[in-house]
A and B are shown apart, each in its own frame.
Chain A
Amino acid sequence: MTEKRTAATGSTLELSGLSAWYGEARVLSDVDLTVAPGEVVTLVGRNGAGKTTLLRSVMGLHRQVQGSVSWDGTDLGKASPDKRARAGIGWVPDDRGIYSTLSVAENLQLPPVTGSDAWSVEQVYEQFPVLHERRDFPGTKLSGGEQQMLAIARVLRMGSRLLLLDEPSEGLAPVIVQRIGEIIRQIKDQGVSVLLVEQNVKFASTVADRHYLLAQGRVVESLDNDSFQERTTELLEYLGM
């Protein structure tokens, strides 16, 4: 692995010229994107735009890529997913990724603790009493919203400094989406950064500092939250959402 220090310091995520393929099909083209420490950034785009592929490429799960992903000032190169996770990148997949063969408590305690700001189990249970109540249940016996909480709590317990959230609001009731918004604002206050994939534009505008619009694998626009809110209708139309 090349230990190239980039200009950025601190826990910054920086993608430059990232492209990705599935066989012959190119699904990401020359994506440049940064997430600064403590920043909440969304990636908005319609179905099939390449949002999940982008997160999986950052995690090292999708390997057919070109360009660079750097984290903490170091080019991740070909680093394995487990190494990236231990370097402080926390992945919350679109299917929440809860293990059915592990109890709620085990789901929470499975990943190794990697950061000094890792939440303790007690802290998690205090924030999410329902996880404490159901701690001995199989993970997938939780409701969709509870599984989402568990998936987020799991990477916070690990001490991740950057959360990759793949459509956390999808299919959840408005109160629960609101609760997830609160959690995102709370972890932002603790200096944790978030790269949030969202199709729920209204929800995105309540939590994020900046937005990237992705269409057919390209970043077509990058905006701060104010201009995003002003132009919401126009952008939605443009994205065909």
Chain B
Amino acid sequence: MIFGVLGVVNFSHGACYMLGAMIAAILLRDTGMTFWVALVVVPLVMFLIGVLMERLLVQWLLKLDPLYNFLLTFGLTLFTVDLVKRQYGVSSLAYPVPAGLGGRVSLGSVELSVYQIFAAAFSVLVCVVVWLVLTKTRVGMIVRASTEDAERSRALGINVARWVTPVFGFGIALAGLAGVLAAPTRSVNADMGSFFVIILFAIVVIGGLGSILGAVVAGFLVGLVEAYGQGYVGQFSQVLIFVLMALVILFRPAGLFGREEAA
């Protein structure tokens, strides 16, 4: 979505995911902020960070070659990761599962924690809300139109530039939210975002570049393959994602929902 609206390949989403989790963990350690409060506060903080990042850096780079954007977001990622390492070290911070969501349940042969089910349901809820905003509101309509063709939208009187900053910030906020959601399920450290980039890449390839429905469905597929794969083949689940990616590239080069000409 961000790629379409801005022409920015945002590989910094992995770093933002990590930042979201780190901020939540640090706030818990230093101020005792609970998971539920962090779920609201962290995305807001990340939104502001996103807006600043866009205003200060991305804005003027938009005029240059897309390759520079790629390099910028990549550089920004490395910078953020290193900054967090310097400040907080490489060891992981603990983030306990929030009260009331502990325990496990078994679904057939797969055993899932209550928290995993909560996180999955919450993600679906967020997806549905984003989906509704995109499809049912005027803002969503403008975002879809500008994603499809920014130049054409400008020629129809839409001030695309005015929407770029908030949409960018929103994307960063979502990545931060994903980080908070993930924090109780894994070790929170500076490197936790690196695999996220690969998953993000997989989602884009599988769903088709610029297809919003594709991104939602692919995100879900990748999540399922990872969760169920973990139950059956453990570490191999990450390989499964690449198998899925390879299959899609073989049979639907433009992605599941991509337009053929966009390939």
Task: Name A residues whose Cβ lies closer than 8 Å to a Cβ of B.
Answer: 59, 61, 80-82, 85-86, 91, 93, 97, 99-102, 106, 109-112, 114, 154-155, 158
Contact = CB atoms under 8 A, between A and B. Distances in A.
A99 B149 contact: yes
Contacts of A158: 156-157
B151 A110 contact: no
Contacts of A61: 151, 154-155
Contact of B151 (A81, A99, A106, A155): A81
14 contacts: A59-B155, A80-B154, A82-B156, A82-B158, A82-B159, A82-B160, A86-B157, A91-B155, A97-B156, A99-B152, A102-B145, A106-B145, A110-B145, A155-B156
The 3 closest A-B pairs by CB, nearest first: A85-B157, A111-B156, A81-B154
B138 to A, nearest CB: 8
Interface residues of B, number: 19
Contact of A110 (B147, B156, B159, B212): B156
Contacts of A93: 152, 155
Prevailing SS type, chain B contact patch? helix
Interface of B: 141-142, 144-145, 147-149, 151-160, 212, 259
A70 B259 CA distance: 39
A154 B145 contact: no
A99 B148 CA distance: 7
A80 B149 CA distance: 16
Nearest to B159: A82
B102 to A, nearest CB: 42
Given A82-B155, A154-B156, 9 more contacts: A61-B154, A85-B156, A91-B156, A101-B148, A102-B148, A106-B141, A111-B158, A114-B157, A155-B156
Contact of A97 (B142, B149, B159): B149
Contacts of B152: 93, 97, 99
